[in-house]
Amino acid sequence: MKAARFDYVRPTSLAEALVLIAEAPDAKVLAGGQTLGPMLNLRLAQPPLLIDIARLAELAEVAEDQDGVTLGATITHAAIEDGRVTDPTAGFLSQVAAGIGYRAVRTRGTIGGSLAHADPAADWLVALAALGAELNLAGLDGRRRVALSGFVEGAMQTVLRSNELITGVWLGKFSSAARFGYHKICRKVGEFADAIGAAAYDPERGVRRLAVSTLAGAPLLLEARLDTPAAVPEVSHLEGELHQAGFTGDAYETRLRAVALQRATIAMVGR
């Protein structure tokens, strides 16, 4: 299959991009194109216009403030994997990035693009939820910041308005005592995950979060007792927690998520 006819424009500034987006609500924003490209070729997406933001310098920057770090939306998975941008998690982001798809996908795919697409099986969605990330959004009407936990409304549905862009991902700084764990269960290397679990623990900042992928929506966040780092929860216990948190998958889907969470916790404890 080849893409249906579309127009293409590459704005040279964020301001210009926001005007274009506001003017063409049916347009699709193109960043790395690792999802949009195949969707175009399969004609599952037939937008009249592509607005290519991949080369906007303003969206590729890393900014540090007192409390945290902002990663520009068009920073690629590969740049994070390679440690070419500041990593407030001392290597955890790099580890997550290295497990996304294949290197060719990582070379072009972007962190902001992945979040905007909001595939429930996406790595960043779960990993960044565990880290308590927030997203910077911009539109002609102004800018706003939303917590990642409130960003996703369903499978491939977010609170992003049709005239808005994700400009960056903000992560709070962690203490030197912080530990993280991540585990992805998938049928083969590079494929979409069947289940993802992520764990973050920072006693000095009061962070004790478990995040797990769901079937059709935002990752679930579980408040976990991680005070004793050696206490790895049982799978059966985690299955109960998942049901209590509202997870609705069948027994196997629940099992996979509980195992992914357990392994993420083991990975965290081992660090």
Partner 1 sequence: MNQGIGARLLRKEDDRFLMGRGQYVGDLKLPGMQEVAFLRSPQAHASIKAVRVPAKLRDRVFSAADLAAVAPIRADTALPGFKSSVQPVLAQGKVRYVGELIAMCIAGTRAEAEDMAGEIELELEPMPAVTDMLAARKADSALVHEVWGDNLFLSTLTEVDFEAVLKKATLAVTRELKTSRQAMSPLEGRAVLAHWNSRLGQLEVMSSTQQPHIVRSGLAECLGIDEGQIRVVAPDVGGGFGYKGILLPEEVALAWATRRLGVPLRWIEDRREGLAANANCREHHYLITAYADRDGRLLALDCEASVDAGAYSAYPFSACLEAGQIGSILPGLYDFAHYRCRTYSVATNKPPILPYRGVARTGVCFALEVTLDALARALGIEPTSLRLNSLVRPEQMPFDNISKRHFDSGDYPQALRRAMAAIDLDAVRLRQKQATLDGRRLGVGFAMYSEQAGHGTSVYAAWGIPFVPGHEQCFARFTPDGALELRIGAHSHGQGLETTLSQVAHSILGVPHDRIRLVHGDTAATPYSTGTWGSRSMIMSGGAVAAACDQLALRLINIGAALLQAKVSDVRLHEGFITGPGGRIAIQEVARSYYRRPQDLPADVDPGGLEVTAGYKAMRDTGTFSYAAHAALVAVDPGTGEVEILDYVVVEDGGVLVNPMIVDGQICGGTAQGIGTALYEEMAYDKQGQPLASTLSDYLLPGPAEVPEIRILHMETASPYTRFGQKGLGEGGAIAPPAAITNAINDALAELGAELLISPITPRRIAEAVAQAQRMAARKAP
Binding site for partner 1 (CB under 8 A): 1-5, 38, 42-43, 185, 187-192, 194, 235, 251-252, 255-256, 259
**Does residue 8 sit in helix, strand or coil?**
strand
Taking each helix axis as running N to C, give the angle between helix 235-244 and helix 251-270, from 0 to 180 degrees, rounded to the nearest 10.
120
Q: Which is nearer to partner 1, 77 or 263 (CB)?
A: 263
Distance of closest approach, residue 13 Cβ to partner 1, in angstroms: 31
Q: Which is nearer to partner 1, 18 or 256 (CB)?
A: 256
Distance of closest approach, residue 27 Cβ to partner 1, in angstroms: 19
**Pairing assessment for the beta strands 220-223 and 207-212 based on DSSP bridges:** antiparallel
Q: Which is nearer to partner 1, 189 or 230 (CB)?
A: 189
DSSP state of 189: T
Reading the block at residue 238, the tokens are 């985690």
**Pairing assessment for the beta strands 62-64 and 157-158 based on DSSP bridges:** unpaired
Q: How far does Cα 166 stand from its chain's mean position? A: 12
Q: Which is nearer to partner 1, 45 or 259 (CB)?
A: 259
Distance of closest approach, residue 6 Cβ to partner 1, in angstroms: 10
Closest CA to 54 of 32, 87, 82, 27: 32
Distance of closest approach, residue 123 Cβ to partner 1, in angstroms: 15
Q: Which is nearer to partner 1, 168 or 181 (CB)?
A: 181
Distance of closest approach, residue 65 Cβ to partner 1, in angstroms: 39
Q: Which is nearer to partner 1, 19 or 266 (CB)?
A: 266
Reading the block at residue 81, the tokens are 């994997």
Distance of closest approach, residue 258 Cβ to partner 1, in angstroms: 9
With a CB cutoff of 8 Å and minimum separation 6, the contacts of 95 are: 182
Edge to edge, what strands does the sheet with 142-147 contain?
62-64, 68-72, 164-172, 134-139, 142-147
With a CB cutoff of 8 Å and minimum separation 6, the contacts of 88 are: 68, 69, 171, 172, 173, 174
Q: Specify which residues 69 forms β-bridges with.
A: 64, 171
Q: Which is nearer to partner 1, 34 or 158 (CB)?
A: 34
Distance of closest approach, residue 133 Cβ to partner 1, in angstroms: 26
